[in-house]
Structure 1
C-alpha cells in the first residue's frame, strides 16, 4: 500500500511527493483456520506481510535476519520501480526511448541495488522490451551512490539464498555477468581483472557482489566527498575505474559532496542564529542562497556582533542544560566548553578514542592541586548515536562511556570541571538541541574511513569549531572555512598503510599517557563492580595493545594508539584558543559564514545537472 507524503519547498509554490510503502497481505484473515481453532494461523499472512515494513534494517546476525533484509530490500525496490513504470506507460503514445528522459533512479549504497536485476525483469518479462534495449534503458536510468567504504555497505548475497528467494533475478544476473565477462575477456584476456570485475564471487560460499552489479548497471557512480571519491577509484573499485578509463568514460565515477539544509539545521534548530544572519544581511535570502552568508565576514571582528553571537550560544546552552536535566538528570555548568560527538557508533568513528581522552583528562585533573584546577577550562563532553543491533563492540563502547561518566561526574574533585554523558536515543529532535549549543565537535575517524559525514556540516553551520582528522568532508570544510577554524590531528590517508607495515615489524609505540588510561581500565576503575563489564572493557584494551596487529582486525584496526598523542595536543589547543573569547567568537563567525558549499541546495543542483539531467521547474506564480 502506498502512503503519499507532500513535501513542500521553502519559499516556493512547488510541492513534491514522497511515496512510502507498507506491506499488506493479499488475504487479511483466514476464516477457515480460525474456525478450526488455529487462531495464530488465521492471521499468519498478515504477520508475515507486516514483517517486511515494520522495522527497517532488521538484525542480520542470523540467517533468518539476512533473509528478511533481502526480502525487505526487494519489496521496497520492486514497489517503487513498478510504480514509476506504471506512471510512464500511462502517457499516451509513450516510447521506451524516452524513458531515460523521464526516469532517474538513485541507488543509495548497495541496499537497493537489486534494482538492476528487477528493472531488467520488469522491462523484459513484464513489458516485453527486447533484452539489449532493456539493458540500454537500465544503464541510462539507474545511478549508484557509494556512501561508505565499510565492507558492510558492500553487500554480498549467497547465491543459494538468492536462488531460493529470487530465482528469476539470479538468472538475469547470470546472463548479465556472462555477457559482461565475455566482453572483458576480449579486451583483457583471461587474467585477474576478470575475477575482480565479475558479479559473482567464488569461494566456499558463492556470492553475488551487489556493488559490482550496481556499478555495471549504472549510468553514473558517485562518492560523497572529494577524498572519498578518490578512494572509490583507487581502493574500493580500482578495476572498475581502470575499465572506465580504458573505455573512454573516466567521468562515470564522479564526486557529489554531501550537504545539509540550512532551513532545518539553522532556521528551525537555531532561530536566534537565523535572526542574526537575517538582521546583518538585511533579508532571509541566505536561506535559499547560502553564498550570501559571505557578507557576514566583514562583521567578524565587530564587538556588537560578538556580543549577540555569544548571547545566541548562551541561549542554546541554556536549552541544552534543560534537555540534559530532563533526559539524564545531569546538571552542567552553562559556562563550560561544550564538546559533542554525535554520530553512528562504530569503531572507525572512534568514540572509543574520545572516551580514552576523557579518562586521560580526568587523570590529569586528579593529579592537580585545587589551585591548579581553578585554572583549567571546564568542559562537558557529550557522546551520542546508535549502534547496529548486532554490533557487540559498539555496545561495549557505549557501556564504557556510561560507566566512565558515572565515575567522573560524581567525583567531588573533578565533577565541576569535567562531565561526560552518553545521550540515549539520538534523533533529529535531540540533534536540534545539541548542535546549536556546541563549542567544539569531534569528527575523528581514521583517515580514509569516513565517506563524508554530515554532522560536521551541521555543527559548523551553527558556529561550532571542529576537532578532526583529514578525512571525509572535514577536508573540504577546512578549505572553505580556513585552517584556523579546525583543530587537525592524526595520520593522513596515504600514511595508513605504512603505519600498519611498521607495526607488523614491531614499531608501534604506545604513549605513556595512554598506557596510564589502559591501566586504569584494567584496574577496574570504571567497571563499577561488574565482572562481566570489566572483562569486556579489558578485551577492548587488549586488542589495541596487540601492537603487531595495528591496522588489522587482530589489533588496533583504526589506529587509535597511533593518533592518540596528537589528539591530546589538539585538545590542548582547543582549551588555549577558547580562553581567548574574542578570537574564538571571530573563528566561530568565520566558520559559520563560509558554509555555502555544504548546503543541500548545491548538492541537489549538482546531482540534477551531472547525474539526472534535470532542469529546475518552478511553478508559475500565476496560473
Structure 2
C-alpha cells in the first residue's frame, strides 16, 4: 500500500467526489464524502488483497477457516484506514476540506452480522490473524437484516427491522463465479456400484444458490489482506410458470429460500423457526466446505487424504457443528472414501470452541426435523452416534452407564455440542475457569474419554480497534510516553507501570478520561435528553441482557441507593451515572421485563429533584459496536457481575479495563485472570464463588425466601416492584417479584446483594481519592495487553491450528 500525505488525500477525495457524484467538494453531502473515502480506501486495499491471495496460492500454506454464525465487525472505514496506515492523513484531509472526520465515519451503518460477544470475538480474531501474518479466513452468512433495531416505547423494548443493507455496502464484492448449489430435503437412495461401494442418489430436493460476498480483512500495516466470506441464499432462476397458481407457489418458494439468509437468529420457539435455524446452519457449512474443498483442489492438487495438512476448520460454538457430518458426506459420497478414512480425515480437520455451559445454549435439534431437512446427514450422524456408543461400550466399560449422557443422539434429539466434541481433534474453553468447569463438571465424561483433546484459550480483543481507534487521546498519550511498539506488541503496555506514581502523567490520564466522559455526556443528552454529571462515576454495564448477567442485581442496587437518598438527602456519596446498553431476545419475556424495569427506575430517579442529581440512570438504545466505541473510553466502573461459573469469559471486561475502567465483578470468566494480573487492590470482587454456586445447585440448601424475609433492603425493593413506586400500574413488575421467589432465585441475585452493596461502597470510597484511583486505572491499562486477541490467536496458531506465518 502506498503512503499518502495529506495533500494527496485531499486531492483524491475531491477527485473521487467529482467522478462519482459529478459534484464539487463544497456541494457534496457528508454521506457522499463517506462513500468517496470508502472507495479510495477500497481501491488501495485491493492490490494487497490480490497479492495475499496469490501468495497463498503459490506457497500453499496450511490455512485456518473460522466458521461462525456471527461476525460483529462494526464499521470498517475507520478500521481499514488505521490498519492500512491512512488514518491520520485521512483525518487531516477531511478537516482541511471542512468536514468533521467523526461525522464522516458515523455515516457507516453497523453491519447486522452479529449480536454479542460471540460475533465480536470472531471479528477480533480475523483482525489479529491478518495482523500477525497468519493465513486465516472467516465464513459466515450475509444476513439481509440484523437481529433487530431496538427502540424503547414507554420503556418497553420494541423490535424494528435492521435493514443494514438499505444503502450500498462499500466493502463487499459479489463473486457470482464462485456460487454453489445446495440441496435440502427430498429422498435419498443408496445404490450399489459395480465395485461394491455405495452411491447416493437424491430426488425431489429443494435447490438453493449460495452466492459469496467477500469482505477484506486488513492486517495492521503489513500488506496482508485476508477474507471474510459471507453467503447469500438466492433462488435458482426458473424462466416461466404454466399458470397463476404455479407462479404464486414459485414466489412463495423463492421467499422461503431468501429467508435462509434473511435474518440473524430467527425466533426458534416455533417449529418453523427451528427449521429455519437448521437450514441456516447447514447453508453456512455446506457452502463453506464446498468453497474450502474447491480451493484445496485448485491450489494443493493432492488427494483429500492430505486435507488435514493444509486445512483446519475452527467451529465457533455449536452452530456450525453440522460441518462434521457434511464433510463426511463429501468425502464418502463425492470422493469415494470409506468410512474409516473419511472419519480419520474429518477428525483431524475440525476444532471446536465451546462458549457456554448454559444448557439452553447447547443446541439440540429434533431427530424428525433433521431427517426431513437433511436426510443423508441424518444417516451419517446416526452412524457416528452408533460407532461412538459402541466404542465406549467395548473400549471404556467404566463409562457404560454414562452412554445416555454422552450419546450424540438421545431423547429423540441430536446434541450438537456432543457431535462437535466427538468429531473434533481439539475442544477449547475461553477462560481458565470456564475450561475447568467444562472438564470437571459439564463435560467431565468426555474429558475422561479424551483428556488430551481439551484445552484453554482465554479470549482476547483487538487493541487496535478498542484502544487505538476508540480512544485516540489515550493511545496518543501512551505512545508519547513509551513509544509506539506497543501497537504491534501490546504486552509492552506493562512499561506504563513505572508511571503509576508519576503525578504529571496521572493528571494527563485523568484529563483524558474527563474529556471522554464529556463527549459521552453530550451524546447521551443528544440521544435521550438526559443531562448527566460529567464529574460523577460513570458506572457501565453493556452486554446482552440475560438473567445470568444480572442486570437485575445492578438495578436493585440503584433502587437501594435511591431509597437511601430519599431517607437522607444529605447522604455523602459520589454522584453516579448508571449506563446500560443491552438487547433482549424478542421472545425472552423476563429479560424484556428487566429492560422495562430499568427504564421505569430511570424515569423515577432522573426526575426526582429531592436527590439533587446524585443518581442518574441511562439506558441507551440499540447497543452495537459503534455505541460501545463511544461508551467504553468514558467508563469509570466496569460491571462484570454474572453469577459465578456462568460467564464463559467476557470480552467487555477486557475492553473497559484496557481503557482504564476498574472492574467490579464476581470471580467468573476472565475476571479471575484480570484479578490475578492487576492484584486485589485494583479490582472490586464480591459474591459467591463458582464452587459455592455449584454446591448450592447440588444440595439445594439455598433459600431465596429466607434472604428476602431477613434483609429489609431486599424486601423493600421487591415490595416496591410489586406494589410500590416502581410497580404502581397494574402490578407492573409482579412477574419479576414472583419469578425470583418462586424459582428460588436461580442466579443468586438476593444472595449476592449484600456483598455487592458493600463492594460498591468501597468503590465510592476509592473514587474520592483521585490520584489513587488513577493509579489503579493505569495498572489496569498496563496489564491489559495480556488480553489482546493477538495473544489469543498466537495460542490458537501454535497450540491448535499448527499454522505458520506467511
TM-score normalised per structure 2: 0.72
Q: Is the 8 A contact 1:378 1:416 kept in 2?
A: yes
Unaligned regions of 5+ residues in structure 2, if any?
1-210
Partner of 2:409: 200
Partner of 1:150: 358
Cα distance in 1 between the residues matched to 2:704 and 2:214? 59
Cα distance in 1 between the residues matched to 2:700 and 2:261? 48
After superposition, residues 247-266 of structure 1 pair within 5 angstroms as: 250-266=451-467
Q: CA RMSD in A?
A: 1.6
Q: Is the 8 A contact 2:215 2:227 kept in 1?
A: yes
SS of alignment partner, residue 747 of structure 2:
coil
Cα distance in 2 between the residues matched to 1:602 and 1:386? 30
SS of alignment partner, residue 251 of structure 1:
coil
Partner of 1:451: 648
Q: Is the 8 A contact 2:705 2:744 kept in 1?
A: no
Match status 1:63 vs 2:265: no
Partner of 1:555: 744
Quick one: which of 766, 777, 788 aligns to 1:599?
A: 788
SS of alignment partner, residue 43 of structure 1:
helix
Q: Is the 8 A contact 1:105 1:143 kept in 2?
A: yes
Following superposition, the deviation at residue 583 of structure 1 comes to 0.4
Following superposition, the deviation at residue 31 of structure 1 comes to 3.5
Partner of 1:209: 415
> Could you list the per-position Cα deviations for residues 53-106 of structure 1 after superposition, in whole angstroms to 9, with x for gaps in the alignment?
111111111111011000011001110011101111123641323211211111
Partner of 1:544: 740
Following superposition, the deviation at residue 177 of structure 1 comes to 1.4
Q: Is the 8 A contact 1:290 1:599 kept in 2?
A: yes
Following superposition, the deviation at residue 188 of structure 1 comes to 3.1
Quick one: which of 300, 310, 327 aligns to 2:510?
A: 310
Cα distance in 2 between the residues matched to 1:160 and 1:379? 54
Cα distance in 2 between the residues matched to 1:390 and 1:188? 42
Q: Is the 8 A contact 1:107 1:142 kept in 2?
A: yes
Change (3 A) 1:416 1:454: same
Partner of 1:550: none
Partner of 2:27: none
Quick one: which of 330, 334, 346 aligns to 1:126?
A: 334
Partner of 1:509: 707
Change (3 A) 1:300 1:98: same
Unaligned regions of 5+ residues in structure 1, if any?
245-249, 547-553, 618-623
Cα distance in 2 between the residues matched to 1:309 and 1:10? 26
Q: Is the 8 A contact 1:81 1:119 kept in 2?
A: yes
Partner of 1:108: 316
Partner of 1:402: 599
* Equivalent pairs, count: 592
Q: Is the 8 A contact 1:508 1:562 kept in 2?
A: no
Match status 1:354 vs 2:554: yes
Cα distance in 1 between the residues matched to 2:603 and 2:326? 52
Following superposition, the deviation at residue 415 of structure 1 comes to 5.3
> Could you list the per-position Cα deviations for residues 435-472 of structure 1 after superposition, in whole angstroms to 9, with x for gaps in the alignment?
00000010000111000000000000000001100000
Cα distance in 2 between the residues matched to 1:505 and 1:595? 39
Q: Is the 8 A contact 1:385 1:425 kept in 2?
A: yes
SS of alignment partner, residue 229 of structure 2:
strand
- With 146-155 and 256-265 compared, the bigger mean Cα shift is at 146-155
Partner of 1:411: 608
Cα distance in 2 between the residues matched to 1:125 and 1:397? 51
> Could you list the per-position Cα deviations for residues 349-386 of structure 1 after superposition, in whole angstroms to 9, with x for gaps in the alignment?
000111111000100011114xx24x321000011111
Following superposition, the deviation at residue 319 of structure 1 comes to 1.1
Q: Is the 8 A contact 1:177 1:198 kept in 2?
A: yes
Cα distance in 2 between the residues matched to 1:229 and 1:498? 18
Q: Is the 8 A contact 2:467 2:475 kept in 1?
A: yes
SS of alignment partner, residue 692 of structure 2:
helix
Quick one: which of 440, 445, 468 aligns to 1:234?
A: 440
Q: Is the 8 A contact 1:2 1:22 kept in 2?
A: yes
Q: Is the 8 A contact 2:704 2:741 kept in 1?
A: no
Quick one: which of 279, 294, 310 aligns to 2:480?
A: 279
> Could you list the per-position Cα deviations for residues 555-606 of structure 1 after superposition, in whole angstroms to 9, with x for gaps in the alignment?
2010111000000001000000000001000000011111121000000011
Following superposition, the deviation at residue 45 of structure 1 comes to 3.5
Partner of 1:613: 802
> Could you list the per-position Cα deviations for residues 325-358 of structure 1 after superposition, in whole angstroms to 9, with x for gaps in the alignment?
1221111011111000000100000001111110
Q: Is the 8 A contact 1:409 1:415 kept in 2?
A: no
Cα distance in 2 between the residues matched to 1:182 and 1:37? 51
SS of alignment partner, residue 545 of structure 1:
helix
